[in-house]
């Protein structure tokens, strides 16, 4: 008998689940607050709580620790991450306007370098080494990592590899090459994927280091693995090099956990955390993989992942007021905020500030809003002057009301940018606070939530009226909005799965009206309506997450769904991490640049053959070998490999065909559970 420890680090809570191998029985589970300033604190609490269930003789039987994390997903959704340098080889500046690449890059430095390749893998220009050296020397002290994208690098990665080696030597920074993350074409999309990977390297490295430190302190010798976005596992070493592959790691693990826990194989799965809600459709016990790559927070990537729709909506979503309309109202997310009720537990001095704000007869837009620094030491040198000064002030003052830190738009902008850099957090009213006020949850400080609710309720609409008469009424508004936004997201996910137009529900006034009416009807049933319509889910709705039992009964009722909240749904991600397996894939493309030449585009460079079958066989061997090597690097043993061929050709008549392209793919898998 042996054990596997599954860990799931979310934006709000860190979960642990101890699973017995073979039977899959849950031996113990634990939950602790995620401590972003020092991840080892929350991780340590969760891990040690579970280890207490094992005797000294049983602890050596813990063979493997599997970590799923929403840190990468949340960082992308919230626009967080370190400052990076982007190098575009053989692209024009217009490429920044494609696939939201420029928007994601923001103010981080970028260089456009001559070089790159043509569609046939031949160089289109010589690589400009001098320009690379100039860019590296200029920015090496202000960036934490670099991302490279070469023109048709998936057909020939030569220039990316040369640039990578040079940039590593000059800067000493981690360098991400786009061809290492995807074999697809589409330069700007590959560049975005590489950019996100570079931004996430430090974040994931911090978490893995913290986890290993806790295991060492406990005297445990266990392999550490990380869940990818498709639900499979990779070793810690691979995860540190390719952290972007852990985008949607948390929700992918939750899907595996749902399949393990729920007694249904076909269902709509919704996993609500503190920062995001992740929705997928499970068919025959498994999720569908996204054919276009993971899409998170509006960013379309080339990361292979389960077809999961992630929105910035969770129990800790920032509540934003609609203060320009006549009727008022609230919008939730996409940014996460520390709940006031939670902050009061660790910083009780905020109660005095809340009281002082309540004594002020004039409401302010910054009421019940605080800044929480999550860094120590000196701020990064690459911050702007205003950001650096604000970071120092936040560090020195500790938890502070925004009104005390920022009296101008410039100062408020600096705080927002520090939030996006992951250096500070905002604390404000959230659905978690609303749940405390209405008695649905009691884990934190209800008095603090009530004070913050009073401050929010007295804020004014565009017509000069109060947003709500009481904090209870305001809390109802917040949870109704949570039901509305969640329902619309579920409708979008179902439409996307069916191949119908999606991402339009929020802009559909009829659908909005129908769901709002359903929410109201469930709260105060009446027979006064002459006309009604409904939205109904015809598959079971499986709700996961610590707050699922709090929020989803209302959502399930609105959508007239069969709601399932499985036992131990609060640690579904940790359970899913523990029962995962290894799966690595490789794709190799074959083109025909001229008659009688079939070009195999290998990672080490192109190779030509005169016969298609010979090219296919070589590509198949290379793909299987590469997939197996990747599976071994991911930590797999007893590996099984499958290969697939797809040859695209056109029938030109007379029994002849015209070759277009061939793709050979291989998948290597290994079970560890």
Per residue in 445-460, pLDDT (tens digit) is 999 999 999 999 999 9
Query: Is a pLDDT exceeding 70 seen at residue 103?
Result: yes
Which of 578, 599, 615 finishes a domain? Answer: 578
Element (DSSP H or E) covering residue 599: strand 597-602
Q: Strands, DSSP E only, in 140-287?
A: 145-150, 175-177, 223-227, 233-235, 267-272, 277-283, 286-287
pLDDT, tens digit (0-9, with 9 covering 90-100), for 262-319: 878 889 999 898 888 889 888 877 777 776 666 665 666 667 777 888 788 999 999 9
Beta carbons of 83 and 420 less than 8 angstroms apart: no
Structural domain includes residue 301: yes
Query: Is a pLDDT exceeding 80 seen at residue 85?
Result: yes
Tell me the pLDDT of the chain averaged across its residues: 87
What pLDDT shows up at residue 380?
86
Query: Is a pLDDT exceeding 80 seen at residue 589?
Result: yes
What pLDDT shows up at residue 669?
86
Structural domain includes residue 475: no
Lowest mean pLDDT segment, chosen from 219-223, 293-297, 433-437, 484-488 = 293-297
Query: Is a pLDDT exceeding 90 seen at residue 437?
Result: yes
Structural domain includes residue 338: no
Structural domain includes residue 211: yes
pLDDT, tens digit (0-9, with 9 covering 90-100), for 248-277: 788 788 888 888 888 788 899 998 988 888
Beta carbons of 210 and 204 less than 8 angstroms apart: no
What pLDDT shows up at residue 79?
63
Which of 520, 545, 578 finishes a domain? Answer: 578
Query: Is a pLDDT exceeding 80 seen at residue 587?
Result: yes
3-state secondary structure of 175: strand
Structural domain includes residue 15: yes
- Burial code (b: 16+ CB inside 10 Å, e: under 16) for 15-40 equals bbbbbebeeeebbbbbbbbbbbeebb
Decide which of 637 and 137 is more confident. 137
What pLDDT shows up at residue 504?
66
Taken as a whole, the chain contains a residue count of 673
Average pLDDT estimate for 182-209: 82
Query: Is a pLDDT exceeding 90 seen at residue 97?
Result: no
> Residue for token digits 């000069």?
464
Average pLDDT estimate for 56-76: 81
- The interaxial angle of helices 548-558 and 471-497, nearest 10 deg, is 70
What pLDDT shows up at residue 200?
81
Closest CA to 346 of 35, 48, 70: 35
* pLDDT bracket for residue 164 (50, 70, 90): very high
Query: Is a pLDDT exceeding 60 seen at residue 673?
Result: no
Percent of the chain with pLDDT over 70: 94
* pLDDT bracket for residue 670 (50, 70, 90): confident
CB count in 10 Å sphere of residue 660: 11
Query: Is a pLDDT exceeding 90 seen at residue 373?
Result: yes
> Domain residues for 280?
3-76+204-306+574-578
Lowest mean pLDDT segment, chosen from 269-273, 328-332, 526-530, 666-670 = 526-530
Q: What share of the chain is helix, strand, coil (3-state, %, to 5)?
A: 40, 25, 35
pLDDT, tens digit (0-9, with 9 covering 90-100), for 515-525: 888 887 776 66
* pLDDT bracket for residue 346 (50, 70, 90): very high
Decide which of 180 and 123 is more confident. 123
Structural domain includes residue 217: yes
Beta carbons of 337 and 314 less than 8 angstroms apart: no
* CATH number reported for the structural domain that contains residue 39 in this entry: 3.30.420.40
Structural domain includes residue 487: no
Which of 513, 546, 578 finishes a domain? Answer: 578
Structural domain includes residue 274: yes
Rg (C-alpha) for the chain, rounded Å, is 26
Query: Is a pLDDT exceeding 90 seen at residue 360?
Result: yes
342 CB-near residues (< 8 Å, 6+ apart): 33, 427, 432, 444, 445
**pTM of the predicted model, to two decimals?**
0.68
* pLDDT bracket for residue 529 (50, 70, 90): low
Average pLDDT estimate for 597-617: 89
Average pLDDT estimate for 429-438: 97
Lowest mean pLDDT segment, chosen from 324-333, 493-502, 570-579 = 493-502
Query: Is a pLDDT exceeding 60 seen at residue 136?
Result: yes
What pLDDT shows up at residue 98?
84
Average pLDDT estimate for 394-410: 90
Query: Is a pLDDT exceeding 90 seen at residue 217?
Result: no
């Amino acid at each position: 008998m042996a054990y596997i420890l599954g860990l799931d680090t979310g934006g709000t809570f860190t979960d642990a689940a101890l699973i017995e191998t073979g039977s899959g029985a849950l031996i113990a589970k634990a939950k602790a607050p995620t401590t972003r300033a020092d991840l080892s604190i929350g991780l340590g609490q969760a891990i040690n709580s579970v280890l207490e269930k094992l005797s000294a003789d049983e602890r050596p039987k813990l063979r493997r620790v599997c970590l799923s994390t929403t840190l990468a997903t949340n960082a992308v959704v919230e626009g967080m991450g370190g400052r990076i340098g982007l190098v575009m080889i053989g692209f024009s500046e217009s490429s920044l306007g494609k696939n939201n690449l420029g928007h994601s890059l923001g103010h981080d430095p970028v260089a456009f370098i001559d070089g790159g390749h043509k569609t046939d893998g031949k160089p289109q220009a010589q690589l400009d080494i001098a320009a690379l050296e100039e860019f590296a020397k200029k920015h090496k002290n202000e960036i934490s990592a670099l991302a490279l994208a070469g023109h048709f690098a998936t057909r020939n990665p030569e220039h990316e590899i040369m640039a990578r080696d040079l940039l590593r030597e000059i800067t000493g920074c981690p360098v991400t090459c786009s061809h290492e993350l995807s074999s697809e074409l589409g330069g700007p999309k590959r560049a975005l994927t590489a950019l996100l990977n570079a931004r996430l390297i430090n974040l994931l490295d911090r978490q893995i280091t913290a986890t290993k430190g806790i295991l060492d302190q406990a005297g445990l010798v266990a392999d550490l693995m990380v869940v990818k976005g498709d639900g499979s596992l990779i070793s810690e070493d691979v995860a540190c090099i390719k952290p972007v592959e852990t985008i949607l790691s948390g929700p992918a693990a939750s899907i595996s956990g749902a399949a393990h826990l729920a007694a249904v194989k076909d269902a709509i799965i919704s996993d609500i955390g503190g920062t995001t809600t992740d929705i997928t459709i499970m068919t025959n016990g498994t999720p569908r993989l996204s054919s276009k790559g993971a899409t998170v927070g509006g960013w379309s990537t080339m990361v292979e992942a389960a077809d999961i729709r992630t929105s910035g909506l969770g129990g800790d979503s920032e509540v934003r007021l609609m203060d320009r309309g006549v009727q008022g109202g609230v919008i939730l997310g996409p940014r996460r905020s520390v709940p006031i009720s939670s902050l009061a537990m660790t910083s009780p001095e905020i109660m005095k500030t809340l009281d002082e704000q309540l004594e002020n007869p004039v409401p302010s837009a910054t009421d019940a809003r605080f800044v929480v620094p999550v860094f120590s030491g000196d701020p990064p040198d690459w911050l702007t002057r205003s950001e650096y000064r604000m970071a120092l002030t936040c560090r020195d003052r500790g938890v502070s009301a925004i009104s005390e830190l920022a009296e101008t738009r410039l100062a408020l902008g600096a705080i927002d940018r520090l939030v996006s850099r992951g250096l500070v957090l905002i604390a404000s009213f959230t659905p978690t606070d609303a749940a405390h006020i209405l008695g649905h949850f009691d884990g934190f400080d209800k008095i603090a939530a009530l004070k913050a609710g009073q401050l929010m309720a007295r804020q004014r609409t565009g017509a000069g009226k109060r947003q709500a008469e009481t904090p209870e009424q305001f809390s109802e508004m917040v949870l109704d909005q949570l039901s509305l936004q969640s329902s619309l997201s579920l409708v979008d996910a179902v439409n996307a799965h069916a191949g119908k137009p999606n991402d339009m529900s929020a802009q559909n006034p009829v659908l909005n009206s129908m769901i709002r009416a359903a929410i109201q009807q469930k709260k105060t049933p009446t027979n006064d309506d002459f006309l009604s319509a409904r939205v109904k889910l015809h598959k079971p709705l499986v709700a996961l997450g610590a707050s699922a039992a709090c929020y989803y009964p209302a959502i399930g009722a609105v959508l007239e769904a069969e709601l399932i909240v499985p036992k131990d749904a609060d640690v579904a991600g940790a359970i899913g991490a523990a029962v995962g397996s290894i799966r690595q894939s490789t794709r190799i493309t074959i083109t025909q640049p001229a008659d009688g030449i079939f070009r195999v585009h290998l990672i080490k460079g192109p190779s030509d053959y005169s016969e298609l079958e010979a090219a296919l066989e070589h590509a198949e061997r290379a793909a299987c070998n590469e997939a197996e090597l990747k599976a071994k690097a991911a930590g797999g043993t007893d590996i099984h490999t499958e290969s697939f061929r797809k040859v695209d050709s056109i029938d030109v008549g007379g029994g002849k065909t015209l070759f277009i392209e061939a793709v050979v793919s291989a998948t290597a898998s290994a079970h560890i559970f």
